[in-house]
Amino acid sequence: METTPRIAVAVVTMGNRPAEVDALLESVAKQDVPPTRIVIVGNGCPLPEFARRLSLPGEVTTVELEENLGCPGGRNAGIERLREFGDVDVVVELDDDGLLVDADVLRRVQELYAADERLGIVGFRIADELGETQRRHVPRLGKSDPMKGGYVTGFLGGGHALRMTMLDEIGDWPGEFFFAHEETDLAWRAVDAGWRILYAPELLLRHPKTSPARHAIYFRVTARNRVWLVRRRLPFVLVPVHLGVWVLLTLLRNRSARGLRAWFGGFVEGLREPAGERRAMRWRTVWRLTRLGRPPVV
C-alpha cells in the first residue's frame, strides 16, 4: 500500500450551477495538499467553460455524457476515467453545490487512509451556511450528535471518499438506481467485504439546506430503490421484515396523499421489475451492522 495515498477529486454536474461549481473548484484549489487529478463530469450536458479555463492543481479531465445517468451513473463515469489513468488511490466525490470550508480536508483524508489499509469509505459532515447539520445527514439512528465521529454503517453521498481498490473488489455505484439509496447499496457491499466506513465530522462540506423531496421523482424512486436494495442485498428472511418496517414508517411520517400514492407506486414497481444482481450479505455482516448501531432492517 502507498504510504501517501494519491487523491483525486470528482464532481458531477448537470451544468445548471456554474457559479457553485466555480466556488467548489476554488475551494479545491486552496487545499494544502493538491489532488493528483480532478475529473468533472457533465451529466447529460455540455460543460460550461469554467471547467476548461480555471487554473487548478493536478491534472483536470472533463467528461461529457450524452444523457443524464443520475447520481450513481455520473459518479461511475468519473471513476472509470480515473481508472484509465491508473495513478489514483482514493477518490473524493463532492456535490457540485458543496464547498470545502477548510484548507486541510484532502490532507486529512490522505492521513486517514494512510493509517488504515482496510478503510474503504470516509464520510464527511455536511452542514449548511449556518453550521447546522440536518438529521438525515448524520449516519446513525436517533438524535445523534453530528460532531461524534467513528465507524458507521453508511455515508453521505454529498461528500465522501472511496478507496479505488475497494471499488475494484466490490464494484462501483448501482447505476440503475439513478437516485436514492445508492449509498446504502455500496456501503453494505463494502462492509460485507470487510472494509470499514468512517464518519469523520472534522471533514466539513458546506452545502445548502435542502429536502430530497424537492425532486419530482423522489417518492417513487425512493420506494422502488429500497425494494431493489433489499432484494439484492439482504438474506431472504430479512426482506419482508425490512420492507414491513419501512411501510409502517412511511405511513407514520408522510402526511401527503399524493406522496403516498407515488411511494406505493414505486414500491410495487420495485417488486415487479428486475432488481439486478442478487448478492446477499452474510449473517456475520448483519451482526456487524447491528453492532455498529444500525441493523439492516431499519
**At 204, which CATH number?**
3.90.550.10
| pLDDT above 60 (res 54) | no
Residue 291 lies in a domain: no
25 and 98 belong to one structural domain:
yes
The domain in which residue 56 lies consists of: 7-210
Sign of the dihedral defined by the CA atoms of residues 136, 138, 139, 143, in that order = negative
33 and 65 belong to one structural domain:
yes
Look up the pTM and report it: 0.94
Residue 32 lies in a domain: yes
pLDDT single digits (tens) 75-117: 999 999 999 999 999 999 999 999 999 999 999 999 999 999 9
Residue 181 lies in a domain: yes
Residue 36 lies in a domain: yes
158 and 119 belong to one structural domain:
yes
How many independent structural domains does the chain possess? 2
pLDDT single digits (tens) 208-235: 987 665 555 889 999 999 999 999 999 9
Residue 290 lies in a domain: no
65 and 194 belong to one structural domain:
yes
Residue 287 lies in a domain: no
172 and 75 belong to one structural domain:
yes
Residue 298 lies in a domain: no
The percentage of residues in the chain with a pLDDT greater than 90, rounded to a whole number, is 81
